[in-house]
Amino acid sequence: MLREFWQWCRAEASPVARRMGHLSEAIALEARARRQQNQWAEHLNLTRQAILQQANAIHAEGNALIFGSGGLLDIPLAELCAHFRRVYLVDIVHLPATRKQVRQFANAELIEQDVTGLLEALMQCDPDMDEASFERWFRCQPLPVEFPPGVVFAASVNLLSQLPVKPVQWLQNLHPGFSEAVLNRFAWHLMEQHLKLLRSLQVPVCLICDDELATFSESGQCLERIHLLDYLGLNQQVCQRWSWNLAPAGELPDRQQAIHQVAAIRLSH
Domains, in order of start, for the chain: 2-206 (3.40.50.150)
Q: Report the sign of the C-alpha dihedral through residues 107, 108, 111, 115, in that order.
A: positive
pLDDT tens sequence across 136-177? 999 999 887 688 999 999 999 999 999 999 999 999 998 999
Can you give the pTM of this predicted structure? 0.93
Is a pLDDT exceeding 70 seen at residue 58?
yes
Higher pLDDT, 15 or 208: 208
pLDDT for position 6: 57
| Phi, psi (degrees; rounded to nearest 5) at 21 | 100, 5
pLDDT for position 3: 63
pLDDT for position 249: 76
pLDDT for position 89: 98
pLDDT for position 80: 98
- State CA 252 to chain mean position distance: 20
Give the C-alpha separation, 217 to 186, whole Å.
Answer: 28
Instruction: Report the share of the chain in percent with pLDDT over 90.
Output: 68
